[in-house]
Amino acid sequence: MALHCLVSPGGSPGVTTTALGLAMTWSSEVLLAECDPMGRRVLPGFLADRLRESAGPGLLGLAMAAETGPNAQLALEDYVAPIPGADSVTLLHGVRDPRHGVRLEALWGRLAEALTSREGDVIADLGRIGGRDTPDALLRAAQTVIMVLKPTLTQVDVAGPRLDALREQISDGATAGLCLVAEGPYSAAEVERVLGTPVMAELPYSPADARVLSDGARPRRTFKTSLLLRSFKCLGRRIRATAGALPTDIGSESDAVLCGASAGGDR
Ligand SMILES: Nc1ncnc2c1ncn2[C@@H]1O[C@H](COP(=O)(O)OP(=O)(O)O)[C@@H](O)[C@H]1O
Ligand SMILES: [Mg+2]
């Protein structure tokens, strides 16, 4: 099935939180793959008090297995773990120590193959792109690449050249889009025009709800119906529609309302 990569231009706009939120609200079986060479977040964050059994050896274990069996097919499913409370979501947790990033370089090509040939969809968090450690093989194999950024001058400035490079990298038929974490002076239309890339969703600035996903904070009573979660669902619908799974779903009026952040955050 399809590989959807979430990336950032740097500056911690919330790409990991968005990747996890997207996975938790995905409409079918999905694997969240933490492929940010700078390190993992879900295990010590969202899963810190939720994990009941071992999350397994994760991405580093997979890299070590790949080193010992350079020609064998990667047994990806042996390295993924269920996310408690989210029946259809599994996790391939990332490396803890960024020094292990170099071990991942030889893995990316084979991982791209394994991720695109598995049954369910995959959401991969690549973190900041544009550096020498960027998993380019995953970007080339992706059906969709979403750059998460804030609509500020500094974020738009760093995003520009990274999106130029990205458009050259992704395959024909793949889509590059933006997801704005609304906390900045520019409108979606302005960012879209300057970066020449469609805005697929605007997320509200919802620090309390975001902390549930990024830090494992206790959810408020309204978390499940929050604007943030509804916006993740909307982003998911947009991504699947663009990937061709739900052609009638794109651009519907309700999506336009839910994908907008104008209603404000933490509701
Ligand atoms: N939509 C949002 N509204 C408010 N705060 C957010 C939102 N998304 C993420 N955050 C916060 O931003 C911080 C960085 O998030 P994270 O997802 O780790 O960023 P990145 O992966 O881009 O480095 C965290 O404290 C998280 O709670
Ligand atoms: Mg991150």
Measured CA to CA, the distance from residue 236 to residue 21 in angstroms comes to: 10
CA dihedral 98, 103, 105, 107 (to 10 degrees): -120
Domain enclosing residue 67, as ranges: 3-259
Residue 23: inside a domain, yes or no? Answer: yes
Residue 136: inside a domain, yes or no? Answer: yes
Residue 266: inside a domain, yes or no? Answer: no
The pLDDT of residue 261? 52
Q: Are strands 199-203 and 81-83 parallel, antiparallel or unpaired?
A: unpaired
Residue 120: inside a domain, yes or no? Answer: yes
Residue 97: inside a domain, yes or no? Answer: yes
* Alpha-carbon distances, residue 111 vs 92, 126, 151, 154, 222 (angstroms): 11, 13, 32, 33, 37
Q: Which atom of ligand 1 is nearest to the CA of 204?
A: 1
| Ligand 1 center to 73 CA (angstroms) | 35
pLDDT band, residue 57 (cuts 50/70/90): very high
- CA-based max dimension of the chain: 52
Q: Are strands 199-203 and 175-181 parallel, antiparallel or unpaired?
A: parallel
**Local structure of residue 118 (DSSP, 8 states):** S
pTM for the model stands at 0.94
Residue 267: inside a domain, yes or no? Answer: no
CATH number assigned to the domain comprising residue 62: 3.40.50.300
Span 195-249, pLDDT tens digits: 999 999 999 999 999 999 999 999 999 999 999 999 999 999 999 999 875 444 4
Within 10 A of 264 (CB to CB), how many other CB atoms are there? 11
Within 10 A of 202 (CB to CB), how many other CB atoms are there? 22
| Torsional class of 155: left (φ above 0), alpha (ψ -120 to 50), beta (otherwise) | alpha
pLDDT band, residue 69 (cuts 50/70/90): confident
Measured CA to CA, the distance from residue 214 to residue 212 in angstroms comes to: 6
For residue 126, give the 3-state DSSP assignment: strand
Domain count, the chain: 1
Tokens 């969240």 label which residue? 32
Query: Quick one: the chain helix, strand, coil %, rounded to 5?
Result: 40, 20, 40
116 Cα distance to chain centroid: 15
Residue 264: inside a domain, yes or no? Answer: no
Question: Ligand 1, residues 35, 129, 179, 214: which to mutate, most atoms within 8 A of Cβ?
Answer: 214
The pLDDT of residue 259? 64
The pLDDT of residue 264? 55
The residue whose C-alpha atom lies closest to atom 8 belonging to ligand 1 is: 14
Residue 16: inside a domain, yes or no? Answer: yes
| Ligand 1 center to 70 CA (angstroms) | 37
Span 140-199, pLDDT tens digits: 999 999 999 999 999 999 999 999 999 999 999 999 999 999 878 999 999 999 999 999
pLDDT band, residue 102 (cuts 50/70/90): confident
